[in-house]
Structure 1
Amino acid sequence: MATITIDQVASRISWTTLPVLVDGISTTLQFSPDIIEVLSQGSSTLRSALSTHVNHVLDARVQEHGILISLLAMKSGQLSLVRIEAKIPDPGPEQIKQADEWTASLMQAAYAGIQPHRKFKILVNPVSGKGQARRVFDTRLRPIFEAAKCSIDVTYTTHSGHGSEIAATLPLTYDAIITMSGDGLPYEVINGFAERADARSVFQQVAVVPLPGGSANAFSINLSGPKDGLDPVYATLNAIKGKPIQLDLASVTTLSTRKTVYAFLSVAAGLMAELDIGTENMRWMGETRFVIGYLRGLINLSPRKLKVTIRKPIGDKAQIARAFLNDPPPNCTPLTLVTGDATASVEMPRPEFIDEDDAKGNGDWVTFDKGISYINAGLMPYIARDVLEFPVKQACDGQIHLVLQEPDTRLTMLKSIEMGPRGETFFLNSHHYMKTQALRITPVGSPQKGRDIFAVDGERIPYEGFHMEVHTGLLRSFGMHRTLSTPDVFKEEAKRRASST
């Protein structure tokens, strides 16, 4: 336990302090713009009984001549809810006033720029992942929302599509709809929103925020990183304290029937779709199922029979990397409603380029003329914890990031597993990386058995030609840093390669 001398404490002029009693022991509560500490009085020293980030404070208030602080701190190696109950010594009017002012200042620091006590609709898929989502929510997460004095309305989903049904009629009075699941429930919610006559209004006003509870939790990982994004307690803190962040969506429209669904994460074809949909029966294994599916797919590396056309692609990887490293992040604000009235009913935007002819001779459209092992078209950097597929994708950059992987040697494809967490597949010659606003994928001839799979955010769609188009900044979520996660290791490698050319 750290020991701090009284003189050292006195020298910290940025701290706001309050003397209290905790379990009858003289104690100092203090906070700075970054840290809150509980210091117990010894004979000549103050011993740090607790220290955590001030952003982890959920609530602080004066009650019955005492103070109650609810916060998150590390206990037994994991972020956990902690309650500090303190008494005000000699609680006269002046001391009560001092305590009121101290707690008000603490709350102001803890919620800087954020409205406390948000109102949430929470959907929990009780069978998600390994079937632990309900238990984790009830025992670990619900108490945190309650400690933060959030208003919560919880529904445990009962059937496929339940999330879409709820989202289609959700009142606009909620700050966010929260999903405790994998990536399937956010997909349902987003497509439920898209069905509404006031779709743009609800997307602009109600955030969609994930809590990791499934075998695939890429949405949460992209908001909070591969470590914190898998911690349901940290994800709960993000829901309570995160700042609004605008994210791109993409419409995926079948060319024959013009039926549309919306993607927030990625659209996959070839090996990446097959390993996802083809391992549905292994959900109990968690993310390990994706590795098994990938290894199984390496048995047959023959090209998939697919035609891909891309509208005005940006395909120079060196140029793409330089822009990512040097250009400022996109400055994206929520879509302005065409009527100027934030309460008006405005439907989803129509794909702008869907009626364009992509035949050869149209200079705006380019056909990819190499063999294809898999296709990934992404809207966030990570597609799984260990797969940084789109390392230069930024929030609201208005681009679909497209990977077209040529068949390569099995050794190279195996090495891709090791390279995946760092995003280093970006640098492979067989890994074609482009940015575009729209693309089309069409099956050619009859597919081999087990290869007739297209997937949108991990959900299977009909195996027929489709048009995919980005819709900039349409999705609202919360993030602690208002950016999507890309590790420094990729940035350093990109800088190294740029300096050596």
Structure 2
Amino acid sequence: MEKDASEPEPSRQRNGFVGVLYGEFTDMLNDRVRYSVSLTESALTIQRISSSPGRTKVVFNLTDCVGCRAYKGPDSSDVGAYFTAYFYPFKRRWMSAGVARQRVEQCFRVALVQDPLANLHEAERWAHAIRDASALQASRRDGVMYTEVRRPCRVMILVNPHSGRGQALQLFTGHVQGMLTEAAVPYTLVITEHQNHARELVRKVDLSQWDALVIMSGDGLLFEVINGLMEREDWQEAIQTPLGILPGGSGNALAASIHHYSQSPPAWNEELLLSCGFMLCKGLVGSLDLVSIHLASRRRLFSFLSLAWGFVADVDIESEKYRHVGAIRFLMGTLVRLASLRVYQGRLAYLPVKEAPKLPKGSIKAHLEPSTPNHPSLCSSLPCQFVPNSSPSQNSLHNRKSTNSNQNTISNSSNNAITTKRSETQSDGKTSALVDSLLPELDQPVPESWTVVKEEDFVLVLAVYQSHIAEDLWAVPGAMADDGLIHLFYVTAGISRPALLRLFLAMEKGAHLASGCPHLVYEKVKALRLEPITPHGMISVDGEMVEYGPVQAQIHPGLARLVCG
């Protein structure tokens, strides 16, 4: 087949993309079926060439493309070459009103001349142009340029074979492995062999060999990885290694949160895995807040998801015995704990976020609002969909149960921004530990600028820094991965079992904050302290049980990096 004489030559390099391409190619399986194919900066358009009117045209958005490859045919006598593009567009689910990403493969045979090398060169030109245009579209999403994992990247994927129902490895090989191959993402698979294996590995590994660390498990394995990175002498550089998550556990809260931040339609199970695999292949990187948590033993942990005491921690830990049933373990644990609802006595204090004053109508926001962070972040660019206002009942409860002192600033910090001193360089050149400038010692009183909740009976205290605490529990609809906030919830004693169950059912749709429950309090905070008085109980961090006793925490905005789109 001869090249179309009207085909324009590639334009000069423009913003990382070589201009419009046009060609006519045949079907991979049938040389009599011909297509006209055109590539622009945003789309690949395919139209079947036929004599009949109304030719079918299919347009693929390049934001849905993970890769494209060129290759020779299996028959050595075939002078043609081939290129195949891989797309994961949203399509209607089978027997469902919803949509989810589904794989579509488009393959074309290039036989412009009788020279096999010339045909292969043309196929490679198309594959290269499609990959470049796809990467450019991804990095420009929402009109902002984003950080991107270096290409070709080297990825370490850590798989916990026992997570969830023990199917993480099968899920990886069945749903993700092929996608990574299509996207030309080289990876090394590491199967964890025991608890804290991942923590020990990343504490010692040469991170210069890896462009990203990816976890195929539940949230617990990422907790290990983050704390292993923060225990390194070069923690400040190590924690900048992009982190990815592929849901293979029971809770999968961070995976659900990242999917939500991408503004994609709701997804669960394998559809959520496919979405996270797609985002890993696209390789866009945003910022991730971490929370520094101090325990009574003076041990310090770093958390990316949640700190829980009471009902939520009980369900998290006690439902481990049902791990073999998968995500339904949390429902089983919830019903068991509701049947014998516990109440815990303790003290709670926190540093509230001072909300920016509402602007009068007609004011110019651009001149009055704080500037955006100087780091490119996909996650932070997405708008909050729901920012609840406290109901009158919540406000009256808060005023009745707590004491607010004046809003003086704490030493080295303020209510509006964290001026944390990140690290100091010692005389031997090593980086010292991260400084938590908002937190006093645990045996010292909290600063006067904190809000202190009087000694109270609690059903639960939950501090969250992502939108979800499980695949199907949308805890903070307005949260973002790098919003610099701890979203603090507590439920006081006196709530009935049916009312508590209704709260969690409402959380499936993110509607619990609008329920008007008088026992539920929600605050945005920068730091908090919890002091249990009840002698026995459970505290969990990112779903993992930690020592029981006084605990305090502080947010560190954008400390880590997250593959999130």
Question: TM-score over 0.5 for the alignment?
Answer: yes
Q: Deviation per CA, 1:202-234, whole angstroms, max 9, x where unpaired?
A: 111x11100011111111111112734742222
Q: Which runs of 5+ in 2 are unaligned?
A: 1-18, 73-79, 95-100, 140-147, 359-367, 377-419
Matched, 1:288 2:377: no
> Shift in Å at residue 444 of structure 1?
0.5
- Specify which of 496, 500, 521 is matched with residue 432 of structure 1: 521
> Shift in Å at residue 44 of structure 1?
2.1
> Shift in Å at residue 463 of structure 1?
0.7
- Specify which of 189, 192, 197 is matched with residue 228 of structure 2: 192
- Specify which of 60, 67, 78 is matched with residue 68 of structure 2: 60
- Specify which of 279, 295, 315 is matched with residue 238 of structure 1: 279
> Shift in Å at residue 175 of structure 1?
1.6
Instruction: Count residues with an aligned counterpart.
Output: 451
- Change beyond 3 A, Cα 1:361–1:89: closer
Q: Is the 8 A contact 1:229 1:235 kept in 2?
A: no
SS, match of residue 380 in structure 1: coil
2:48 aligns with: 40
SS, match of residue 286 in structure 1: helix
- The whole-number CA distance in structure 2 between the counterparts of 1:97 and 1:149 is 19
- The whole-number CA distance in structure 1 between the counterparts of 2:356 and 2:458 is 18
1:128 aligns with: 163
1:309-324 paired onto structure 2 within 5 Å: 309-310=349-350, 312-314=351-353
The residue identity in structure 1 corresponding to 2:204 is T
SS, match of residue 339 in structure 2: coil
> Shift in Å at residue 301 of structure 1?
4.1
1:495 aligns with: none
SS, match of residue 165 in structure 1: helix
Q: Is the 8 A contact 1:51 1:73 kept in 2?
A: no
- Specify which of 454, 459, 462 is matched with residue 373 of structure 1: 459
C-alpha RMSD of matched pairs (Å): 3.3
SS, match of residue 161 in structure 2: coil
Q: Is the 8 A contact 2:423 2:432 kept in 1?
A: no
Q: Deviation per CA, 1:6-38, whole angstroms, max 9, x where unpaired?
A: xxxxxxxx9743211112121233344444344
- The whole-number CA distance in structure 1 between the counterparts of 2:466 and 2:446 is 32
Q: Deviation per CA, 1:290-325, whole angstroms, max 9, x where unpaired?
A: 122222222344531222121x32488998xxxxxx
Q: Which has the larger radius of gyration?
A: 2
1:419 aligns with: 506
1:460 aligns with: 545
SS, match of residue 108 in structure 1: helix
1:88-107 paired onto structure 2 within 5 Å: 88-90=111-113, 99-107=123-131
Q: Is the 8 A contact 2:473 2:510 kept in 1?
A: yes
Q: How does the TM-score come out when normalised to structure 2?
A: 0.72
1:208 aligns with: 243
- The whole-number CA distance in structure 2 between the counterparts of 1:217 and 1:327 is 35
- Change beyond 3 A, Cα 1:192–1:94: closer
- Change beyond 3 A, Cα 1:49–1:183: farther
- Specify which of 192, 203, 211 is matched with residue 157 of structure 1: 192
- The whole-number CA distance in structure 1 between the counterparts of 2:422 and 2:70 is 43
Matched, 1:471 2:507: no
Identical aligned residues as a percent:
24
Q: Is the 8 A contact 1:332 1:396 kept in 2?
A: no
> Shift in Å at residue 243 of structure 1?
1.6
> Shift in Å at residue 354 of structure 1?
3.2
The residue identity in structure 2 corresponding to 1:438 is A
Q: Is the 8 A contact 1:119 1:175 kept in 2?
A: yes
1:344-423 paired onto structure 2 within 5 Å: 346-355=431-440, 362-369=447-454, 370-407=456-493, 408-423=495-510
- Change beyond 3 A, Cα 1:233–1:329: farther
2:25 aligns with: 20
- Change beyond 3 A, Cα 1:357–1:288: closer
Q: Is the 8 A contact 1:209 1:239 kept in 2?
A: yes
SS, match of residue 412 in structure 1: helix
User: Which stretch has the larger CA shift, 88-97 or 16-25?
Assistant: 88-97
Q: Is the 8 A contact 1:329 1:394 kept in 2?
A: no
Q: Deviation per CA, 1:86-128, whole angstroms, max 9, x where unpaired?
A: 2333356987776554433322211113444321001111222
- The whole-number CA distance in structure 2 between the counterparts of 1:45 and 1:162 is 63
